Amino acid sequence: MDDAQWQKVSIMLEEIRLPYRVHAIDITKDEQFTPAFLKIAPSNKIPAIVDTDTGLHLMESDAILLYLAEKTGKLWPQDFPVKWRVVEAGGANGRPGALSRVGPPLVRFNPGKSPYAEERWCWTGA
């Protein structure tokens, strides 16, 4: 599968030099809906990981990247104010995830349609 989401996690694991094993999930055969995979990722999302040190199950590439960075102390600032600036610089403004990429364009292309959306997505905290 040629998908940037799992590639990001694979690259991260290589960069921080953590050992890992890849288990291919064939979505053309609905393997993401098997009980074994749903135990790891209840929303059937790929990529997903199991930390064999802690038993923690994680899905969603950005959550996995942050977890691995926190766990190893690599590729992520250790000082909280600096961490927050990294999150802000990433464009999420404290709201990591898909909505941070969807909300601003919705407001930009539909001005005046929703005061709530404009306040939520356009306020910069300055």
What is the model's pLDDT at position 15?
93
Given this model, what pLDDT does residue 82 score? 76
pLDDT at 45: 87
Contacts of 69-75 with CB under 8 Å at 24 or more apart are 69/12, 69/16, 72/16, 72/18, 74/15, 74/16, 75/12, 75/15, 75/16
* 26-43: pLDDT as tens digits: 999 999 999 999 999 998
CA distance linking residue 69 with residue 96, whole number of Å: 16
Of the two residues 14 and 118, the one the predictor is more confident about is 14
**φ and ψ at residue 107, rounded to 5 degrees:** -70, -45
Rounded mean pLDDT of 85-91? 65
Comparing C-alpha atoms, which of 56, 19, 54, 50 is closest to residue 37? Answer: 50
125: number of CA atoms within 13 Å, CB side?
Answer: 5
d(CA 1, CA 84): 33
- The yes-or-no verdict on residue 121 having pLDDT over 60 is no
What value does the mean pLDDT of the chain take? 78
- pLDDT for 48 beyond 80: yes
Label residue 75 by pLDDT band (50, 70, 90). Answer: confident
Per-residue model confidence as pLDDT tens digits over 100-113: 454 555 556 666 76
